[in-house]
Structure 1
Amino acid sequence: MYHVLKEELILEDGDSIRFFPRYGGYSPIQSGFSLGISPEPVKDGKVKTESGGLTFFVEEEDLWYFDGHDLEIRFEEKKAEPTFHYHK
């Protein structure tokens, strides 16, 4: 999965990806919003984890979107893309 993200978003080891709410689209946890991702540096990184040479994070102002859910990212080999799953 990491090599696909690195290729598509033009990232290198040590870079970071922010998860944030976007207005519009579909989300199983927040009506009228969807999950956005953006390669950018960590500001306060209230929640963050490192994997595959990348740091994945959520800023404090965006925690409301997750409503107490954990985000799990899986890689769909057939589609060659990540899928996002929320767990309470």
Structure 2
Amino acid sequence: MKITVTDAASKWFREDMGMTGRGIRFFGKVYGKTPVHQGFSLGMTPDDHPRHPIVAEKKDDVTYYITEGDQWFFVGYDLTVDYDAQTDGPVYRYAENGELDH
């Protein structure tokens, strides 16, 4: 499991959300859907104090991470965070990585 943040997404988080020197936590939440989960969607929130991160990616002085409590949502997948100019916001892509929940 890993997180990849594109240059365009990094720019959006820094310029539109003012996230320089801060943290973004990704998590699974009830309701919605993703290409890999029915009934659950991906959430993100500014959070500068990671508790038990299991994976993190630091890019342009912003730390993007997933905590131990949200591992269930990402097991078996890598997350790529990109920018969508049409919606002027992030878009999330999942790629299978073959990891199993232990």
Note whether the superposition's TM-score is higher than 0.5: yes
Partner of 1:56 in structure 2? 64
Contact 1:75 1:83 (C-alpha < 8 Å) held by counterparts: yes
Partner of 2:85 in structure 1? 77
RMSD: 1.6
The reply on whether 1:6 has 2:14 as its aligned counterpart is yes
The reply on whether 1:42 has 2:50 as its aligned counterpart is yes
Partner of 1:66 in structure 2? 74
Query: Aligned equivalents of 1:4 and 1:10: distance in 2?
Result: 9
2:33 to 5, 18, 26: 26
Query: Aligned equivalents of 1:78 and 1:15: distance in 2?
Result: 26
SS at match of 1:28: coil
Give the structure, 1 or 2, with the largest relative contact order (CA under 8 Å, sep 6 or more). 2
Unaligned runs of at least 5 residues, structure 1: none
Contact 1:29 1:67 (C-alpha < 8 Å) held by counterparts: no
Q: For residue 7 of structure 1, report the CA deviation from its aligned partner.
A: 4.2
| Identity, % of aligned positions | 29
More strand by share: 2
Contact 2:12 2:83 (C-alpha < 8 Å) held by counterparts: no
Query: Aligned equivalents of 2:27 and 2:87: distance in 1?
Result: 23
Unaligned runs of at least 5 residues, structure 2: 1-8, 97-102
Contact 1:21 1:62 (C-alpha < 8 Å) held by counterparts: yes
Number of residue pairs the alignment of both structures matches: 87
